[in-house]
Amino acid sequence: MALFFADDSSYDESTRMTGFYRYRQLLSFYAGTWFKSSVATSIGGLPLLAGVTLSVLSSSLLVLLPASILGGLIFGPFLAALYDMIMRGLRDSPGRWGRSYKKGLAQNWKEALLPGALTGLVFGVYVFMAYIMFWGGGSFTLTTLLFFVISLYVFLLVSMLLWPQLVLFSQPASVSIRNGILFTAKYMWRVLGAALVKLLFVLVIALFAPWTVILIPFIGLWFPIFLSELIIYEPLNQELAIEESIRKKEEDEAPTLEEEA
């Protein structure tokens, strides 16, 4: 990391740092792992992208709805695996990339189907609306544009809070939603700022498309997720006891000496 940042005697990668040092530390440890996870997740998103593209080219809602839902069903488990890998890094959980990513797929694919379908549907609808508003020659008002951006912002905020809980805990969706509401009420400005980071990334990619689409597998998926989750991770860990719960679960699942024998 000294290639990009000046050396600092107070920086020690052997311990968990805080603030910007933590950002540097995590990138130096896990950027390669998250990059590979992002590429794998992008491959899982190809059916969704193909279906939405076909619906836009044909200007057909009849194609958009089933293509978005089906593509989201396929994409959901891959997105869950990416979130799982990022949350593993944030809590400093070691493991080989291939094994950890496959484990994330295997453990979360059922729970990720419905959120994946909803994510695919929202993605398809927003792409279709953006095409009509900006590239299809449709007229729109400032109110319509504000509604478009604000609703997208709310969706990204909800995703930022619910997907980590999906991959970390086995709990009903109602519990995850309640946790998200309470956490947002307590840490409102931090949550709003973290969601704003994701929104800015999405808007930059959308405004400069199609040239920026090629960046999605490399930095467009993992980096905004990592950055937004990093902003909220410490209070989230404090409120939900993430690391303590996982440590206890691993201890309970670890085989005893008699079982190993």
Lowest mean pLDDT among 16-30, 171-185, 204-218, 231-245: 204-218
215 vs 189 pLDDT, higher one: 189
Q: Whole-prediction pTM value?
A: 0.89
Taking CA atoms, 190 is separated from 22, 86, 186, in Å, by 17, 19, 9
- Compute the distance between CA of residue 104 and CA of residue 160 in angstroms, rounded to an integer: 17
pLDDT at 112: 94
pLDDT digits (tens, 9 = 90+) for 185-214: 999 999 999 999 999 999 998 888 778 888
pLDDT at 75: 96
Average pLDDT rounded to a whole number, residues 228-243: 94
Lowest mean pLDDT among 80-89, 128-137, 179-188: 128-137
b/e 22-39 (16+ beta carbons within 10 angstroms → b): eebbbbeebeebbbebbe
State the pLDDT confidence band at 33, using cuts at 50, 70 and 90: very high
pLDDT digits (tens, 9 = 90+) for 49-79: 999 999 988 888 889 999 999 999 999 999 9
State the pLDDT confidence band at 18, using cuts at 50, 70 and 90: confident
Determine the length of the chain: 261
The tally of CA atoms less than 13 A away on the side-chain side of residue 194 is: 24
Q: Do residues 230 and 26 make contact, with C-beta atoms less than 8 angstroms apart?
A: yes
Q: What dihedral angle (degrees, nearest 10) is formed by the CA atoms of 54, 133, 75, 85?
A: 140
Please give the mean pLDDT across all residues of the chain: 87
Residue 46 has pLDDT above 60, yes or no: yes
Range 135-142 contact pairs with CB under 8 angstroms and sequence separation of 24 or more:
136/59
